[in-house]
Amino acid sequence: MKICLVGYGAMGHIVYEMANNEISAICDINYEKGIKNLSELKDHVDVILDFSNPANLDMIYEYAIKNNTPVVLATTGYNIAAEAKINELAKFVPVLKSANFSLGVLVMDKVLEMITPILKDSFDIEIVEAHHHNKVDAPSGTAKMFLNTLIDKTNYEPNFGRYGNEKRKTNEIGVSSIRGGSIVGEHEVLYCGEDEVLSIKHSASSRKIFAKGALLACKFIVKQEKGLYNMKDVLFKGE
């Protein structure tokens, strides 16, 4: 498998180290040995793996459609227009987009799907996430993924960064973000009931877990038909 890696920051370096020589090209304007634009690619690649930022979506869109190349999007922080463009791209090529590529996080999300319908009427639900001080988006993409799962099972409303004197509503899900130090990523969902609290938490101690999942996603997406996929398709396809 030949992968073109878009973005050669902290995650890009780790992906490159773990890819067992499957990275055939690196696209990053700050990397001298790589290319600055996908249009400069001379050799065929099997998949584009994006660990950059939303600003590169147009470039990826154009190249993928022109060359019929599958895409794995590991970037977060897309706005509504960008999300629409991703959906449009999936009409032409296979696209896998995920807010988190950790296998543990994905299993946690599956657990939330299972237990939330059972607990929602008796427990208040809160999400707390923590990341390093350089992370620019909040809440994290993973927190949003968990939130979407919880809303789908409850129809509750999100409350981001609770502030003020208003009492907590029974039909809301609180979302709190912490930014500090070098925290790789921590996500906790709390089910708070009368006299008991159920806490489900995932902590990442290394970015290697995200690289491992992203490379697994690449192997999956090159075998798929056009359409939009996520990591649940990789882990739970065929259930």
Catalytic annotation, residues: 131, 135
Q: Which two tokens stand for residue 38?
A: 């996908």
Q: Confirm if 18 and 211 have CB atoms less than 8 A apart.
A: yes
Number of other residues whose CB lies within 10 A of the CB of residue 175? 22
Strands (E), the chain: 3-6, 23-27, 47-50, 71-73, 94-97, 124-131, 157-160, 172-179, 185-193, 196-204, 227-229
> What is the 8-class DSSP label of residue 208?
H
124-to-17, 25, 168 alpha-carbon distances in Å: 42, 48, 9
CA dist 49 and 58 (Å) reads 14
For residue 218, count other CB atoms closer than 10 A to its CB: 24
Cis peptide before 70 (omega within 30 of 0): no
Please give the structure tokens belonging to residue 222: 């090159």
